[in-house]
Each structure stands twice: as structure tokens, then as C-alpha cells.
Structure 1
Amino acid sequence: MLTTVSNKTSELQGKLITFMEEYIYPNEELYEKQLNAMESRWNIPPIMEELKERAKEHGLWNLFNREEGYGTTLSNYDYAHLCEIMGRSLIAPEVFNCNAPDTGNMEVLMKYGTDEQKEKWLNPLLDGSIRSCFTMTEPDVASSDATNIQSHIVREGDEYVINAKKWWSSGAMDPRCDIAIFMGKTDPHGPRHEQQSMVLVPMDTPGVEIKRHLPVFGYDHAPHGHAEIHFNDVRVPVSNLIYKEGKGFEIAQSRLGPGRIHHCMRAIGAAERAIELLCRRAAEREAFGTPLAEKGVIREIVAESRMEIDQARLLTLHAAQKMDQEGAKAARKEIAMIKVIAPRISLNVIDRAIQVFGGAGVTEDFPLAAHWANARTLRIVDGPDQVHLRDIGKLEFKKYL
């Protein structure tokens, strides 16, 4: 596999690293202070919009894009290197308009949206003036199997009528969230993978009700947040259908491939920051007469962490490169493998860093605890480990049987 990047990507890496050091890390604490000082934690800290404008000025905007005609065009392999850098901070992806679920939603609209849908929803998303959510997961079924969803999309004349309960709709709490991509069944009796469709639902449509906010290990992830949403006789025009009826599962699969690369590289970035914090902490702290960095047990966990991070990175870059060259279907096993490996390794490294930090590691004085909680959810997001392990085993057996 390739181990180098294009000149274009190398230049963006340098600019991104500099931007992170000059603007992101120094403002993480200010972001939290502003958020806590606001009338509601569901308001936007001013520093976020300031940073976004700076990112635009530096040409670090919409870096995720792979489609021609929408600015920066990078392969999955090239973007993966940038995604890792952004993953070192939990506020960074939004600063560069590379935050989930917006990136996946924009990719869907770029690939499948009509001209009208692009004008109304894609362009504002690309500009960063609105946000979006993706509503697929449901509380009453095992949503790791997307064909399980029970949401109803019924056509009545020139409208679709939607009834459903959805949850873990990330970004739905954000006051800027104007549009949802909704996945439900238009043909419950059709072929298993052709029953579902995707429809655009403006969040201010009558019948759209945010029932509650869902914290993650106690973190509210404000002002982004995760929500349970009920759709009660929601009516939208038929023109809000994305692509064609019965193509919802296909669209979801095309969306998830690149998204898993993004998640995994961000997790590796979080692990890189953790090992950096671990080493700096160990170098400046002393226990039982010598610096922690001189103790064999510390050097051993640093070595284990470095080996694991580099393994996960190489495997993820390999998956990204295979997807670029042969398509997501051909890279199915590699994508499943990284979706298991990257979060595991990120958790391992962050946990070791927390152990070295001691009590400080579980406070909000350092980013380790928040990164740990985020990495732990990745073992469920976009399919739990067990689903991916099943697929890896099945695909491996195919080579021999």
C-alpha cells in the first residue's frame, strides 16, 4: 500500500497542524467557558463561529469532499490523514465543517440529491450556515440491522406522511439543525433491501417533536447533542424523496463506508493526543524518587501504545486506499476490521494515559475522559463490534469454502 500522500495533501497537513496549534488547542478551554456562561448550553459559543471564519480564510474548509464541483477534492486515503489531525480535538471537526453527521448528509445530497434539494439544503450545509441530523436508529428494534426499521413513509397524493420514533439523532439538539435525512419504509412487503427510502424532513415541519436529549456517559455534547425524535403524521412533499423509492438501504451503505474511515482516523488522532499527553505528564511528574518517564512500566505502556496506534493507522489507510481503488464493496472486510480495531486501540491508549494522570485523568481539566467516552461510543456507532466481527469471519471463510 501507499505510505505517502500527494503534495496537495502534504500542504494541507502542514496548514492544519499549524492551525490546530495556533487556534484550536488554545481555545478549547474558552469554548467550554463560553458554553457554560451562556443562557442555555444549546446556544453556540461565539468562539466557534470565529474559528470557522478563520478556517475558511486559511483554505481549511469542507476538506472531506470527494465529489467534483464542490471545492477541495480529496480521496478517502488523502482525507484520512487530515481527519486524524482533526480527531485530536473534539471541537475541531466542526471548525473545518467536517463534523458528523453533516459530512455524510452532504455526501448523500452531492451524490443523490436533485438540483432543488442541493440548492435548498446542500449549499447552506457546505457554507456552514445550517446543521443537519440523520434519523435512522430506532429505540424499539435492533438498528444494527437497518432492514429492521419500522418507520412508516406512506404516500398520499403529492405528499409523504411519516410516523416514527427515532433516537440517537446526533446534532438534532443544535439550534442550527434545520434538516433531517429520514430513513423509513415505503414498501414494507418488498424485497428486504428495497423496502426503505430516504426523505428530507425540515425540522420545523409540524409533527416533528424532539422528545428528549440523550447524554453519553453523562456528557451532553452541547450544543450538538443527541436526541430522541418522534414524527407524528409529518407531511412533506414527494419532491423531498432522495433518489428513488426503495433505495434507502443502498444510500445508507454508500454513506457509511467513508464515514467509518472518518470515525476511525479521528479515533487514532485522539489516541495520538493521549500518548502525547501521557509522555509529557510522565516527564514532569515524580514518584518514589524518580520521574515517571524513567520507570520501566511507563516505558512499556508507551511502547504498547505506539505499536497499537501505528498498526491501527496502517490498517485504516489500507482500507481507505482499497475503497478508493476498488470501491466500498470490495473493501467491505477491511472497513469492518478497522471499525473494530480503531476504537479498541484508541480506548486502550486513552485508558493508559488516564492511569498515568491519576485523578486528574478523569476530570474535565484534561481532554482524556471526554475522548474516552467518545471512543467508547464508537464501538456501537455505525454497527456494533459483533456485527463487524460476524462479517469479517463470514468473508474470511469465503476464501476457503
Structure 2
Amino acid sequence: MAVIMCGGEPGAFDLVRTLGKAGIRSTVFSSRSDDIAFRSKYARRPKLILPEFRAENYGEIFQRIAAFSQTCEERPVLLYAGDSELMFVSMFREKLEPFYRFLLPPGEILESLMSKVAFIQFAQKMNLPVPPARGFASVSELQAANQTIDLPCIVKPAYNQDWFWQSEALKRRFGTYKQALRRFDSRPALLEFCKEIPETRSGFVVQSYIDGPDNSIACFHGYFDEHSVCLGSFLTREIRTNPPCTGDLACCETFHDGDLAGLSIEYLQRIRFQGVVKIDYKWDEAAREHKVLEIEPHYQAWHLLGAYAGVNLAAIAYRHQKGERVEPQTEYSDNTQLLYLSNDLKAYWHGYRKNREWTCGSYLKSLAKKKHFRIFDSADPMPFV
């Protein structure tokens, strides 16, 4: 049995469909009682409603999902669809292992990937090609070093969930986590922004901003066994994001680049990675290389695109963790597209239309191309209704 754990939609539905395409039905644990994944024909009953994935709720979440596992004939395979869910699994790793099957990298490596502050030193130690970045514990530290910051730059939280705002005032001021990410071309503007962001114990990162259009953002997706052998992989690139340049998935496609795929596997084997992974890259024209922006060790919406193209990482992970023999899968089709229509329309209207990166004609022409939809699937229509 597969169990998908997600704090909110549509992340759970991405994985329900991805596994469903391989003939694997799954049980959904969600923090939303109206999660569209519950309506999928690939979702098993019963559904399990969890509290929000916040640290103060982790104990209760563990009790609920441990109790569910004890009703199963065998340990289910656990798939986690976001940063907060990954944090929970990491913190309760030893307690969860008697109840669920999952594969994570060693603890010290996992922490270095989850924390953007820790990742700076880790990337330098492992000789990964990353943009220049500095971690700060507080605004006062940044203020003391402000004149030495290279521009343009971007500010990121140590953990993504640090910018999952709890108050309505912060949500109105900064928007979503992705909307809060922005380019800074002046040091006073950088400092003013950081003063307004609530301070956290984990700090924040100021990273050099790499210029370039959205299609210069590429991602490697893979699954690695306990010996860091890659059992499946594919590459994607962004066509549009919401908001432009720093946002979430709006429209993306698969592509091939043997050199980038090979380097990605080499980087991950260098750090002794195991489990599911996504590496975010951006092409640095000045350096003439892809720079690593982030390494994310959890399941992703892009896995649905991979399944359509020919490499189903969620199914590979499920079968491997069940102890089945899995032959490496790296053959997939080029230019297979995935569209998150509501996000894409917002990205065009509020962003690309204004910066003229996409004209009305070029945008409509791009929509006319054959593609798969993140939410709508004629074979499983109820979540869309």
C-alpha cells in the first residue's frame, strides 16, 4: 500500500495520479478535508484528515498515522509532498520506521539540504557549483555587512516554511512564499525588506541573483537507492512560473541534456544521496554553466510530468521500497508539457503581459500546443469538478 502525506492541495493529487498511472492506488493523508485528491478514483478509502504540518502538531500527526499503519497488513510506503511534510518525517524518522517504508539520505546530509543556511557551507565542502551566498542570523548582522553585498541579489529563508505566514497581515504584505522572493538592485531596498520580514531562529540567506528568462531554469529529477545508484531520472525546464522568474510551476516541459543529467548524478553520488530528489538549476551565462540553486529531497508535482513522459519516479520509489527489483529507467520523451492553467493565467496577466516577455499572441499560441494538465484528467475527472 502507498500512503501520500500532504498539508494541502494539489500536491497530494499530483502523486495520487502519478501512482495511479502505474496501477497503484494510494491512501491520502491531508490537512484539508476538501482536498481534491480524496475525489480521485485512484485514492483508497478511508481518508485521513491531519492537523496542519506545524511543529506543535507533529506529535498528534505521528499518533494518527502510526495508528493507521497498525490497521494495514504490511508496512505502507510513505510519500511526502512538501517541505513541511519532509521536516516532519526527518524529525520523526526513527519513530516512523517501524510503521512505514521510506528512504531518506543520512541525517547530517538531509539537514544540510533542508536548511538553505547550512547548504551554503555544505555545497562549498562538496564542491557543488552554486551562486555566491551568505547566511545571516539577524538583520543586525546584515546591516553590519550590507555594503559588502554583491548586487543584484535575492533573499531566501533558511527553511521555506519560515515564510509560510500565519497572520493575515503578513499574507497581505508579502503574499505566498514564492511571491515574497524577489530581486534586489539596491542595498537600502534589501535592508528595508529584511527589516520587515519577521526574524526566525534559523536566519536567512542573501544569494547572488542570476539573470535570465524562465526557460534558463532547469530541474533534474531522480530516485537513488541505498547505494546511491540512480534507478530513474529525467530533466525538465520551466516555460513560465508564477510569479515570473522566482515562482511556482505554471508551465514546464521535459528535455534532454546528457551532460547536465550526468553531472547531476555525479553530484548526488558525491554526497551519498539516497531517495527521491529534485535539483533546481539556473543557467549562468557569465560563468557558462548551470548553477545549483537548491536540492530538494521530497516528492514533486513534476513527477506527474515525468510519468506522462515515460519515467514514473513515484512508482519506482514504491516498488523499490517494497523490495521489488527495479531496472533503471532514463528513457522519456522530449517536449512533453505540463500546464497548471490557473497559475499560468495569473502569471501571464500579472507578470508576462506587463514585462512583455510573452505577448498575447505568443501566449495563446503556446496554449494551443499539446500538453497535459496538472488538475484536469479526462480519465479521472472528479477532482476537477
Please indicate, yes or no, whether the TM-score normalized by the shorter chain is above 0.5: no
**Alignment TM-score, normalising by the size of structure 2:** 0.29
**Alignment TM-score, normalising by the size of structure 1:** 0.28
Specify which structure has the higher proportion of helix: 1
Comparing both chains, which one has the higher relative contact order based on Cα–Cα distances under 8 Å and sequence gaps of 6 or more?
2
Specify which structure has the higher proportion of strand: 2
